Amino acid sequence: MEYDGILLGMGNPLLDISAVVDQDFWNKYEIEPNNAILAEDKHLPMYDEMAAKPTVEYIAGGATQNSIRVAQWILQFPGATSYMGSVGKDKFGEEMKKNAQDAGVNVHYYEDETAPTGTCAVCVLDGERSLIANLSAASCYKVDQLKRPENWTLVEKAKFYYIAGFFLTVSPESIQLVAEHAAANNKIFSMNLSAPFICEFFRDPQEKALPYMDFVFGYETEARTFSKVHGWETDNVEEIALKISQWPKASGTHKRITVITQGAGPVVVAEDGKVKLFPVIPLPKEKLVDANGTGDAFVGGFLSQLVQEKPIAECVRAGCYASNIIFQRSGCTYPEKPDFA
C-alpha cells in the first residue's frame, strides 16, 4: 500500500514553549498552578522571556497537529502524514516547522505577516504546570490558502482527513471544501467535537460539517454538551454516541462511526446501530505525569491503524497505547520509536 501523504490534518498550530521558571516569574505574570487560560496583554512578554531560558523546550502543538504527529510516530513511514495551518513569519514559526518536520510530518504552513505564531506557554514550577495560550496567527487561515495548488495537491493526494473541532472557529469554509472533496471521491473524513464551547457556540458550522464525517471523535464531556445542545435529554454516553453515528450522512459510501473516550473509563464505539466498549490500559497514579495532549494522542494512534485499513478494535488499541505513553511524559511527546506491536 502507498502511504505517502495518505493522512492530512488541518488545524490551529501552536508552539508549546515549556520551561522551568521560579516563583518570581509566577508572581510577575499572576500565574495560578494547574491552570489553563488564554493570554491577556499582561502575559505577552512572557514568551520571549521563556525562550531565553536555558531549560526551554519547543514542542509543535495544537490539537490536530498533536494527533498527526502521533500518527506519524506510530506509522514510521516517512511523509505518510501532512498538515496545514497558519503560523507567523517569525522564529517561533520556524522552530515549529523544524519540530514537525523532524517528526516526519510534511507541514505546509501559511506564513501570516501580520500576526506572530500562536504559542502556548507551559510554565513549570515544582512539578506543577500552568498553560497560557496565545492563538494569534493560528486564527488567520483562510480558504484561499487551501486552494493554492501546492496545498490542494496535498488534499487530492490524501485518502484520510482529520480536523479538530477547534478549526471551526477559524475557517469553516476550508473544512467544508475538504469534506465535500472527501465525499465526492469516496475518501474518509473525520473530525473531533473537541470542546463543549465548540458544540455550544459553533453549532451551525459543526452541523454543516457533520453529514460529511465518517468518524466523529470526542471526550465524554463534549459528547454530553452536544446532547444537551440538541435537546436529546440524555447524559448516557453510549446513547449519545449511537445518536451521533445515526445522524444523516451526505454520502452513503461509508457508514459513520462515533468514538468517545472517557478518561479511565472504557472507549465507546458506536456503529451499525450497536455500541461496543473497549477497556483502556490501566495506569498507576504514580506514573501519571501530564494529561495534556492525551486525547489528541488517542486519535493519532487510532488514525495510524485506520489508514492501514486495520479493524476498529485494533485502531482503538493503538489509540489507547498512544494516550498511555503520552500520559507518562511532559506534553505531547513520545520516545524515539514506538513499541506498539
Cα dihedral 156→138→69→206 (10° resolution): -60
- Measured in Å, how far apart are the chain's first and last C-alpha atoms? 19
For the sheet with 36-38, list strands across it. 36-38, 128-134, 119-125, 14-20, 57-61
Task: Say if CB 242 and CB 258 are below 8 A apart.
Answer: yes
Q: Would you call 259 exposed, middle or buried from its count of C-beta atoms within 10 A (0-12, 13-18, 19+)?
A: buried
Is residue 214 annotated as a catalytic residue, yes or no?
Answer: no
pLDDT score of 16: 85
- Annotate 260-277 with b (16+ C-beta within 10 A) or e (fewer): bbeeeebbbbbbeeebbe
Per-residue pLDDT at 32? 82
pLDDT at residue number 49: 94
Residue of 144, 204, 296, 339 marked active site: 296
Q: Please give the C-alpha separations between residue 137 and each of 44, 49, 111, 327, in angstroms, as whole numbers.
A: 14, 20, 8, 29
161: phi then psi, degrees, rounded to nearest 5: -130, 140
In which residue ranges of the chain is pLDDT below 50? none
Query: Residue 117's closest CA among 181, 39, 42, 53?
Result: 39
Rounded CA separation 124/165 (Å): 28
Tell me the C-alpha distance between 251 and 182, whole Å.
Answer: 10
- Asked whether the beta carbons of 162 and 303 are under 8 A apart, the reply is yes
**pLDDT for 255:** 94
With beta carbons less than 8 A apart as the criterion, state whether 337 and 321 touch: no
CA 29 → CA 16, 18, 66, 123, 309, distances in Å? 18, 15, 27, 11, 48
- Give the burial string for 45-66 (b: 16+ CB within 10 Å, else e): ebbebbbeeeeebbbbbbbbbb
Unique residue bearing C-alpha cell 505518510: 80
Distances (CA, A) of 234 to 223, 272, 277: 10, 20, 18
Torsion of CA 284, 287, 293, 295, to 10 degrees: -10
The candidate with the shortest Cα–Cα distance to 70, out of 340, 334, 336, is 334
- Classify residue 43 by its DSSP letter: G
Phi, psi for residue 44 in degrees, rounded to 5: -60, -35
Residues facing residue 257 across a β-bridge: 215
